[in-house]
Structure formats: C-alpha cells, structure tokens
C-alpha cells in the first residue's frame, strides 16, 4: 500500500517526533498487516520500490508528488515512520540533505539502502560532489531497480521470488522505455539537442540521449540556492542566444517565474514544464516513472524540433 505525507511543520517540530520515537524504542516493527515496513524518501524512488515490492510491503513515501526533496522540511510523522521502518530507501549524493538528522532523531536501526551506489556519476558544481538526479537516465533506473530488488530480498527472503519476478517484468518495461526515448531523440537534429532548464537536473538525461546542457536558471543542481543575480541571468541569456537554443523549460517542483523572465528576455519559446525531482499528481502524465520519462522526452523533442 502506497502512502504519501507532506511536510506540515517546520524542522523544529521534530522534537515532538523525537520524544515519540524514544517511547517506542529503536527496534523496527512490522506493519499491522504483517508486511515489511519500508520508507522511500521521495516519490520517484517510491514508485520504483513499489514496482518491485508489489503488495508484499507497507510503503511510505516521505516527499510526495510535486514535492521538492531539496527543500523539504520533515514533519514529526516522518520521525515515527523511520522509527518503525524495517528498510529505508534513499537516493544519496546529498539529495536528501535533511535525512541524516531525521534518521538520528528517530532512533531508527533500519538499514539505509542508497539507490545511487554503483552508478557512474556526473560531477556537480563543487569539487568532490556529484549530480544526484540519477533517475533521469533509464539505464540508471534499471540499476536502481536491481539494487531495490536485492535489498528487499535480503530483508524479506520469504518473498524473494516475488521481488525477482516483479523486477524482471519491470526491467522489460524500462528497456522498452529506453528504446522509445532513443527513437524520439534520434528524430531531433543534433544541433537542436540543447537544454536550458530551471535547475541543473538533466545531466544524466543529456549523457544518455545525446543532448548538450547550455545552462540552468538557478545555477546549480539544487533548488536551494535562491534567485540568480542579474549578472548571472544576463550571462545565461547571452549563452542561450549564442547557442541558438529553440526553447527553455520550467519544472513541476519549482516556480517558473525565473524561467519565464529568461524566455521573455531572450525571445525564446517557453516549453512545457518537465517532471524533474518528483512524480506528478495522480491523473497527470508523470504520475509514474514510466509516464514521467515518456512525457519529458516527448515534451523536450516537441519543443526543440
């Protein structure tokens, strides 16, 4: 069963959750259903976990649809969720900057499974740091699924066969998705495969599908840096004009005002908002990872054509 929680309280409210976790003790407990209790930090990772786990786990996703994991403020209920978890799936690479403190406050002893481990990483802005947006490449998502399967089978060996069968079926869907995106992008002339987005989230997509990143409005791989300066905006506008970028893109987790101003200043078309760090809400094209990637590929190719 998949549940989503959204932050309702600021970080200081974690003190209430800490008291609750202390009363419960550190040992993880099974769900009332008797299934393994699993936490995933954000919606895209949660969807991958759900595809592998099926109905065998009780899954809680901390940062839900359209939520920004970069700036998320955990709620006291999140502390309790980690305290009760038997397994925690996280992206790693600093994507969930709040998780270490939340985990310590919860007193959880659950194993933390880092989905980015073992992947070839793209360097980020600061030395020694890496771009956390690994899921924007379908081949990376395939490896994440394998990591999820292995962790679930280790934690719940009685259902290892179910996890393996679910993972194998989903991997076939991912292979089909990857082939579809390759075909879509191959139809776009190489000189038009140029990306400008709200924040730097498409490096893995660009690497996998032959695009060039011209720049991003917020100047980095996180949304926490604030608005760019006038000088930074002017520099990016010059780069867009020089590169002949056909369109620029906003996203579902961050306001589009900066990108709108950039489009107005450069006279470049504003493409449809892309799904970046979160799934879309139910009923939208991005409500699943498969839908998210298909929509993004079609929107990018359509706007840049």
Sorted by where each begins, the domain ranges of the chain are 2-178, 187-304
Report the alpha-carbon distance of residue 36 to residue 56 in Å, rounded. Answer: 7
Average pLDDT over residues 104-110: 98
Between 203 and 7, residue with greater pLDDT: 203
pLDDT at 9 > cutoff 80: no
| pLDDT interval class at 82 (50, 70, 90) | very high
Q: Are 110 and 82 in contact (CB under 8 A)?
A: yes
User: Which of 65-69, 258-262, 280-284 shows the lowest mean pLDDT across its residues?
Assistant: 258-262
The overall average pLDDT reported for the chain is 88
Among 276, 278, 274, which residue's Cα sits nearest to residue 296?
274
- SS3 letters across the chain: CEEECCCCCCHHHHHHHHHHHHHHCCCCCCCCCCCEEEEEEEHHHHHHHHHHHCCCEEEEEEECCCCCCCCCCCCHHHHHHHHHCCEEEECCCCCCCCHHHHHHHHCCCCEEEECCCCCCCCECCCCCCECCCHHHCHHHHHHHHHHHHHHHHHHCHHHHHHHHHHHHHHHHHHHHHHHHHHHHHHCCCHHHCEEEECCCCCHHHHHHHCCEEEEECCCCCCCCCCCCCHHHHHHHHHHHHHHCCCEECCECCCCCHHHHHHHHHHCCEECCCECCCCCCCCCCCCCCHHHHHHHHHHHHHHHHC
pLDDT at 205 > cutoff 90: yes
Give, in words, the CATH class of 2-178: alpha beta
Q: Check if 2-178 and 187-304 are the same fold.
A: yes
pLDDT at 256 > cutoff 80: no
0.85 exceeded by the pTM?
Answer: yes
pLDDT at 170 > cutoff 70: yes
Average pLDDT over residues 213-234: 73
Between 31 and 292, residue with greater pLDDT: 292
User: Which of 180-184, 238-242, 258-262 shows the lowest mean pLDDT across its residues?
Assistant: 258-262
Report the alpha-carbon distance of residue 305 to residue 303 in Å, rounded. Answer: 6
Q: What is the pLDDT of residue 200?
A: 87
Report the alpha-carbon distance of residue 201 to residue 230 in Å, rounded. Answer: 22
Q: Are 301 and 184 in contact (CB under 8 A)?
A: yes
The 10s digit of each residue's pLDDT in 14-49 is 444 444 333 333 333 456 678 999 999 999 999 999
Q: What is the pLDDT of residue 18?
A: 40
At the second CATH level, the architecture of 187-304 is 3-Layer(aba) Sandwich (3.40)
Residue 65 contacts by C-beta under 8 Å, 6 or more apart in sequence? Answer: 4, 43, 278, 279, 280, 281, 282, 287
**Cross-strand pairs, 89:** 40, 113
**Cross-strand pairs, 209:** none
The 10s digit of each residue's pLDDT in 113-124 is 999 999 999 998
């Amino acid at each position: 069963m998949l549940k989503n929680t959204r932050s309702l309280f600021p970080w200081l409210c974690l003190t209430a959750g800490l008291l609750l976790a202390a009363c419960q003790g550190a040992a993880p407990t099974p769900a009332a259903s008797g299934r393994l209790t699993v936490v995933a930090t954000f919606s895209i990772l949660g969807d991958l976990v759900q595809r592998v786990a099926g109905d065998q786990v009780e899954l809680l996703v901390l940062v839900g649809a359209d939520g920004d994991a970069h700036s998320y403020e955990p709620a006291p209920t999140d502390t309790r969720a980690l305290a009760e978890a038997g397994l925690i799936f996280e992206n790693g690479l600093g994507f969930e900057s709040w998780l270490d403190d939340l985990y310590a406050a919860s007193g959880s002893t659950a194993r933390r499974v880092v989905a980015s481990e073992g992947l070839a990483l793209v360097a980020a802005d600061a030395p020694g740091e890496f771009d956390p947006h690994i899921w924007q490449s379908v081949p990376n998502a395939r490896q994440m699924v394998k990591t999820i399967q292995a962790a679930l089978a280790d934690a719940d060996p009685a259902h290892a066969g179910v996890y393996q069968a679910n993972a194998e079926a989903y991997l076939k869907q991912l292979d089909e998705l990857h082939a579809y995106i390759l075909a879509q992008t191959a139809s776009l002339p190489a000189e038009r495969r140029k990306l400008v987005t709200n924040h730097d989230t498409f490096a893995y997509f660009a690497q996998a599908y032959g695009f060039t990143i011209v720049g991003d409005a917020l100047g980095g791989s996180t949304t926490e840096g604030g608005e760019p300066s006038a000088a930074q905006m002017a520099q990016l506008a010059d780069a867009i004009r020089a590169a002949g970028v056909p369109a620029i893109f906003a996203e579902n987790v961050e306001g589009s005002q900066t990108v709108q101003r950039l489009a107005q200043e450069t006279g470049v078309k504003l493409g449809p908002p892309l799904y970046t760090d979160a799934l879309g809400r139910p009923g939208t094209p991005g409500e699943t990872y498969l839908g998210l990637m298909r929509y993004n590929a079609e929107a990018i190719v359509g706007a840049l054509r």
